Structure 1
Amino acid sequence: MTISSHTADDARFLGPGEGEAIWFLRNRMTVKATEASTGGGFGLLESLIAPGFSPPLHIHRREDESFYVLEGELTMKCGDRTFRATAGSFVFLPRNVPHTFVVEGDKPARMLTLLTPGGGERVFIEGGRPAEAQGLPPATPPDIEALKRVSARYEAEIIGPPMAPTASHAAANA
């Protein structure tokens, strides 16, 4: 049996709204846990994501990525599977499988992103910037080359374009 050398001093508590706030693309991410704070176990981010936003199609080589949707509606793509995720949905995306998502409708989505093991959260931290205000960042074109560089440092790769909202949602928002 392995005996842990952790103590109560290793415990961590962040209240609502606490954590490092990052603007990453069209997201406001609050860093709740990092590889450093969990002994390498995981990274955890709470994200507020703009309506219609989709990250480029990408692959994580080192970690699995999981989402727990708190609010909103997303269409998710993993490999050749596409599915809808609404509040209360849990999604597990295994490493080495291309994936992306799009926020459907006219309201932001809010979700938890869990990266296991930890380390991949550095893509968001280093690829973003400290949030300058509450809420979502202003809409600006993404710097895809910079995103590719920071992704490569953490063994992630951008392999395709963002996903478009589904036709039924696009028509409803036209």
Structure 2
Amino acid sequence: MNTKTYWLFGSQQQILSSELDTNAHYDLIEGLFPPGTQSPLHVHANYTETIIVLEGEAIIFTPGNERILKQGQSFFIPRNVPHAIVNNSASESFKALAIASPSGFAHLIRSVGIPDAGFNECPAQAHDMQVAMQIMINLGDTILGPPGARP
């Protein structure tokens, strides 16, 4: 199994399984979202995403829906559904598993993410957004708005 940890848009993402392990059927990612972390509003055209909260509390926004997930709860995000994932806590991180099917998300993380240096802190280094945009186009991912934007 190829396990790697990266920082992507403020959250720590550990690739547990990817297209390299699953014949491109799915990616299994463990994400740690520090207090106040929000994903950009985005959509996946070519894969679904299932979020399973392991620790803490996550809020997932989809069109017309604000879903609070606590430990052990999950949420399925079909293809082409805009969404944002938020840690609204001022003091607690949340940890979740993400299952992307078929594979795609792990490739984005490996290509755009900043390798974790082992300090469990988000690095100050910026992402190469030109590379990120090209990979997202290839994957069918689109950022629809900045963190804080809602569908």
TM-score normalised to structure 1 length: 0.76
The alpha carbon displacement at 1:92 in A equals 0.5
Task: Tell me the distance in 1 between the aligned counterparts of 2:74 and 2:82.
Answer: 18
Contact 1:49–1:136 (8 Å) recurs in 2: no
Task: Determine whether 1:65 maps to 2:49.
Answer: yes
Task: Determine whether 1:22 maps to 2:27.
Answer: no
TM-score normalised to structure 2 length: 0.87
Contact 1:65–1:94 (8 Å) recurs in 2: yes
The alpha carbon displacement at 1:101 in A equals 1.5
The alpha carbon displacement at 1:145 in A equals 5.2
Q: Specify which structure has the higher proportion of strand.
A: 2
Aligned ranges 1:130-145 → 2 under 5 Å: 130-138=115-123
Task: Determine whether 1:84 maps to 2:68.
Answer: yes
Aligned equivalent of 1:154: 139
Root-mean-square deviation (CA), in Å? 2.0
SS of the residue aligned with 1:150? helix
Task: Determine whether 1:38 maps to 2:25.
Answer: no
- Higher Cα radius of gyration: 1
The alpha carbon displacement at 1:79 in A equals 2.0
Aligned equivalent of 1:168: none
Contact 1:71–1:109 (8 Å) recurs in 2: yes
- Identity percentage of aligned residues: 27
| Number of equivalent positions | 148
Q: Stretches of 4+ moved more than 4 A in 1?
A: 139-146
Residue in structure 2 matching 1:110, options 67, 74, 95? 95
Moved more, 29-38 or 117-126: 117-126
For structure 1, the residue ranges without an aligned partner over 5 or more in a row are 1-11, 165-174
The alpha carbon displacement at 1:163 in A equals 2.6
